[in-house]
Amino acid sequence: MSGTVAISGAKNSALVVMAGALLCPQECRLRNVPSLVDVGRMGEILAALGVKLERQDDCLTIDASSIGQSKAPYELVSQLRASFFIIGPLLARLGVARVPMPGGCAIGARPVDLHVRGLQAMGAEVQIDHGMVYACVKGSSPRLQGAKIYLDYPSVGATETLMMAATLADGETTLENAAQEPEVVDLANFCRAMGAKIRGAGTNTIVISGVPSLHSTDYSIIPDRVEAGTFLVAGAITHSEISLSPVIPDHLTAVIAKLRAIGAQVFTESPNRLRLVSTRHLEATDIETLPYPGFPTDMQAQFMSLLTLSEGDSVITETVFENRLRHVAELSRMGADIRVKGSNAIIRGVPMLSGAPVVGNRPTGLCGAGVGRTCRKR
Ligand code: UD1
């Protein structure tokens, strides 16, 4: 490979920011929205709630001035775990939300207990019945109450759900042990552009002071760090020279450090451009996936592919998700030498792989959609 790649807007930001637009009783314009199946699905979910959407190129206009429904349809939610994010904004805006439990994914069961406990701490009554999460705010005011919430784990989704819910709550909410991922910061910036009062996003303590209402905004989504990281790995594995833009290099610190550790060269050519040069054989390294700023679980499979061809033994430890080593069987079919012990994969580099029929994102019943449907999580 050689050349320059344009990196699209971050999928995980776009999905949650789309949900966040439910907080606003006026039209919001989102730019740099990637063109992906999941974005289309999130759009369908919002449309089912009565929201008007219009897409032109990478610009998506969302008008949630009237929300006719507080119940999200199971058939749509089951196809996209990220759709559970709508529970926070719906509850904050309407005082009631009915959202099906999300299906899992090929990467584990993925519970929502942290989202639910946080909403309960803010005064919501939550019941889970027949696979549906019913949440409502009882009492004379339909507003959630600010609260001090400690997350047992810095879950990205729970941090985002609770941050959105808190924007319109009465009083101040503090999220301790919050996720620090760039997509959390992007959501906070979007909410602030609508008039929300949020500080500390990007650290492990986020403080949100509730405001009575939010207003229209025009907001551009950050570049996708996983797409950028995936191209960097593709460049390294093919011993290529490639250039990527736009990117935010700081979002890729752990990925760049590991590429350099195995012998690839990565240069920051300008504040939003990276260049990778991979000329020599690559070496083994050990990787442990962690919450940001640690090494991202969403880059683990790509690095495993790369390490199958690196010289020596590497160990990858997946700590974020319980079942995210399913690609091992597929890589093995292509001649990779990988042994799995619990959440560790021990990879012994081989000189080359050979072509074989393989499956990406093998369907599982956990997707909530049954056999025949693939789950499009990264
Ligand atoms: C998001 C990203 C996903 C990424 C992940 C971790 C989106 C749409 N998806 O997923 O690409 O891989 O962050 O960076 O943004 N957990 C609980 N209880 C909860 C919530 C989570 O136990 O209530 C557990 C999960 O099962 C998992 C871990 O926490 O083991 C991390 O999950 P979380 O950070 O919430 O990931 P998501 O928001 O689902």
Q: Where in the chain is the domain with CATH 3.65.10.10?
A: 2-209, 225-376
Q: Is 136 known to be catalytic?
A: no
With b meaning 16 or more CB within 10 Å and e meaning fewer, what string describes 6-23? ebbbbbbbbbbbbbbbbb
User: Cα separation of 331 and 347, whole Å?
Assistant: 11
Active-site choice (28, 105, 367, 375): 105
Average of per-residue pLDDT across 152-171? 97
Ligand 1 center from residue 157 Cα (angstroms): 6
The fold of 2-209 is: UDP-n-acetylglucosamine1-carboxyvinyl-transferase; Chain (3.65.10)
Question: Which residues have any ligand 1 atom within 6 Å of their CB?
Answer: 12, 15, 82, 108, 110-115, 153, 155-158, 183, 297-298, 320-321, 378
161 pLDDT exceeds 80? yes
Amino acid 108: pLDDT: 52
CATH number of 225-376: 3.65.10.10
- Ligand 1 pocket mutation pick from 156, 366, 377 by most atoms within 8 angstroms of CB: 156
- In what side-by-side order are the strands of the sheet with 132-137? 96-100, 132-137, 124-129
Closest atom of ligand 1 to CA, residue 320: 30
82 pLDDT exceeds 70? yes
Q: How confident is the model at residue 187 (pLDDT cuts 50, 70, 90)?
A: very high
3 pLDDT exceeds 70? yes
Check: CB of residue 285 under 8 Å from CB of residue 303: no
Amino acid 329: pLDDT: 94
* Choice among 133-142, 266-275, 304-313, 354-363 with the minimum mean pLDDT: 354-363
Helix (H) or strand (E) holding 99: strand 96-100
User: Cα separation of 308 and 58, whole Å?
Assistant: 36
Average of per-residue pLDDT across 231-257? 97
Written as six digits, the tokens of 4 are 């320059």
Amino acid 366: pLDDT: 34
